[in-house]
A = this chain, B = another copy of it.
Amino acid sequence: MHKNKMNQQSSSRPDAENSIGIVTAKSVDITDPLTLACGQVLSEYHLVYETYGELNSDKTNGILICHALSGNHHAAGYYTDDTNEKPGWWHNCIGPGKAIDTNKFFVVVPNNIGGCHGTTGPSSINPDTGKIWGPDFPPLRFRDWVDSQVQLSDHLGIQTWAAIAGGSLGGMQAMRWSLEYPDRLKHCLVIASAMNLSPQNIAFNEMARQAILADPDYCEGRYLEEGKAPTTGLALARMIGHVTYLSQSQLDERFGRDLSAGSFERGNDNPVQFEIESYLKYKGDQFAEDFDANTYMVITRMLDVFDLAREYNDDPVEAFSKATCRYFVASFSTDWRFSPIRSEEIVSALIGANKDVSYLNIETDRGHDGFLSDIPRYTKDLGLYLDNISKEIFAKQVNAGSEDAS
């Protein structure tokens, strides 16, 4: 199976055998105008992406991966030989011999427009004004992401993706693709996702935005021009989001009521700090160093507004009737951000629309973050599903070969 093993891996890492190894980001300047759902036009934009594996000769083995809120194009592998470096966000699942097998597939992961890791977004220069977009960056819809990914597909010469996959908000993009460009994908993998946000989801997004807006260094979104950074607000926003990714049982197990400082002794001079507090604060601060507040504002609002079936008479069955691909849907038992019920809604709509759908609900204590975790049944069944896709592709190539020979 590993005949075409990539030669990029770093020999010094324990996971070298199944690691994609050292990777380098790529980019393209898209100069075809992109008309956004809001009516504004991006006359040109910069798109950063990574690829793993090799595109086959008839360009049928491409898998497009759509990243989630805090994700980006760096989904697998490492940038350096530093063994302390963390790999890309879906390194568990992408690599030679892994569930998304780079010996078989050509994996493409773009950074979304509106993001903050290289692709044009609020911290980029608006070419029309020569100034940083900041809060004036156009409000986006998921279809804008999909349309820009179509432009990337054209750039790569990929007419039809073997699969488009994503977790959480990435799954929403994958579903939107399957409705708007049904002939450009064969399989749609929707993991820990939902057809729209619940009012509770929206509430958490709004609290996160309020935390950013309340930071005086946000400067109404013009912090870059002002030489400031709303890191306090952004860190709190991330804490508010992060807590919804974790299950109660996972928190109980991992942190319990342990202290990182102080003591429970009665007295004046021993203020306590709980492990869970230190952890969330650390995660928040770390996020605030690396992420852009305006991007957080734009993307959380996109999430709130997203509603797969809105323009299909609010009928998910009618929406999915347009699709021609097969679906793989997965949820995680303790996910309370997008609970299994939200995935079951997708499955029900697909059944109603007479579409092929495989559905897994993975038993785990990892909550919403389950989709990023190395859970045996999850990675195994994801791998089995994709292995069948690669067999389809191989069979077609062989058939095409025999026809040529006849």
* Residues of chain A having any CB pair with chain B under 8 Å: 37-40, 138-139, 141, 196-200, 202-204, 206-207, 210-211, 214-216, 232-233, 236, 239-240, 243, 246, 248, 251-252, 254-257, 264, 266-268, 271-272, 274-277, 280-281, 301, 304-305, 307, 310, 336
How far does the alpha carbon of A236 sit from the alpha carbon of B207 in the complex, in Å? 7
CB–CB B139/A198 < 8 A: no
Tell me which residues across on chain B come within 8 A of A251, comparing CB atoms: 198-200, 203
Query: In angstroms, how far is the closest chain B Cβ from the Cβ of A49?
Result: 26
How far does the alpha carbon of A215 sit from the alpha carbon of B215 in the complex, in Å? 7
How far does the alpha carbon of A38 sit from the alpha carbon of B265 in the complex, in Å? 9
How far does the alpha carbon of A255 sit from the alpha carbon of B138 in the complex, in Å? 28
How far does the alpha carbon of A216 sit from the alpha carbon of B336 in the complex, in Å? 33
Query: In angstroms, how far is the closest chain B Cβ from the Cβ of A341?
Result: 9
Query: In angstroms, how far is the closest chain B Cβ from the Cβ of A210?
Result: 5
Which listed residue (B236, B243, B307) contacts A264, Cβ 8 A? B307
Smallest CB gap from A143: residue in B: B266
CB–CB B202/A214 < 8 A: no
Tell me which residues across on chain B come within 8 A of A268, comparing CB atoms: 38-40, 138-139
How far does the alpha carbon of A233 sit from the alpha carbon of B216 in the complex, in Å? 12
CB–CB B304/A274 < 8 A: yes
CB–CB B199/A256 < 8 A: yes
Which listed residue (B37, B271, B336) contacts A266, Cβ 8 A? B37
CB–CB B139/A255 < 8 A: no
Given contacts A203-B277, A210-B236, 6 further A-B contacts (CB under 8 A): A38-B268, A196-B257, A199-B257, A199-B274, A210-B281, A216-B216
A–B complex contacts, Cβ < 8 Å, 30 sampled: A38-B266, A39-B266, A40-B268, A138-B268, A139-B268, A139-B271, A141-B266, A196-B257, A198-B251, A199-B256, A200-B248, A202-B277, A206-B274, A206-B276, A206-B277, A206-B280, A207-B236, A207-B239, A210-B236, A210-B239, A210-B281, A211-B214, A211-B236, A240-B240, A257-B307, A264-B305, A264-B307, A264-B310, A272-B304, A336-B336
Tell me which residues across on chain B come within 8 A of A256, comparing CB atoms: 199
CB–CB A200/B243 < 8 A: yes
CB–CB B39/A243 < 8 A: no
Query: In angstroms, how far is the closest chain B Cβ from the Cβ of A94?
Result: 31
Tell me which residues across on chain B come within 8 A of A239, comparing CB atoms: 203, 206-207, 210
Query: In angstroms, how far is the closest chain B Cβ from the Cβ of A288?
Result: 12
